[in-house]
Structure 1
Amino acid sequence: MAIPDHARTNFNTLLRAAGDGNLALMECLDAVTGERRYVLCAVGRAEDGDFVMTPFGHLADGNPYDAYLPPDPDDPDGFIARSGEGAAS
């Protein structure tokens, strides 16, 4: 499964921001649930000199190994299921 161009572009932006020392972790509230989130942001400057925080995603709550299923190396369109579950697509 190929990673879409927009995701690759955002990832490269995060790498540049981290390399330049312009990456921040900002505490926010989820706009839908109101839950507290810790958001990875690239930090830039607006023309007026103000800081601009561009959010890219939030850190996983709890154990991130429980939150995500990795890709299946034997199936380019599949994901490895948790033990006891069938293959995920």
Structure 2
Amino acid sequence: ATQVLTNATYRSVEHRVMVNADAERLSVAMFYNPRSDLPLAPMAELVSPGAPALYKPMTFDEYRLYIRRKGPRGKSQVESLKAHGDR
């Protein structure tokens, strides 16, 4: 959602883990889910004539359902949400 909110100004980093046979590794997953009807769109401060909105407005529930329906595909999945001039 960060990429959508920032109009692709900020993108998440790639995560890679290297296996280490000599040391244990602990991972903690943390999730934050806002209200399902919360509007999700590029922030107005990051949209201008020179940088038009790349993503259509949607609710958080629409975003979440899109991601779940398509299955985990990483950054290409968020890229597929781009408006592509059909607004």
Asked if Structure 1 and Structure 2 have the same fold, meaning a TM-score greater than 0.5 normalized by the shorter chain, the answer is: no
TM-score after normalising by structure 1 = 0.25
Higher strand share: 1
TM-score after normalising by structure 2 = 0.25
Q: Which has the larger radius of gyration?
A: 1
Higher helix share: 2
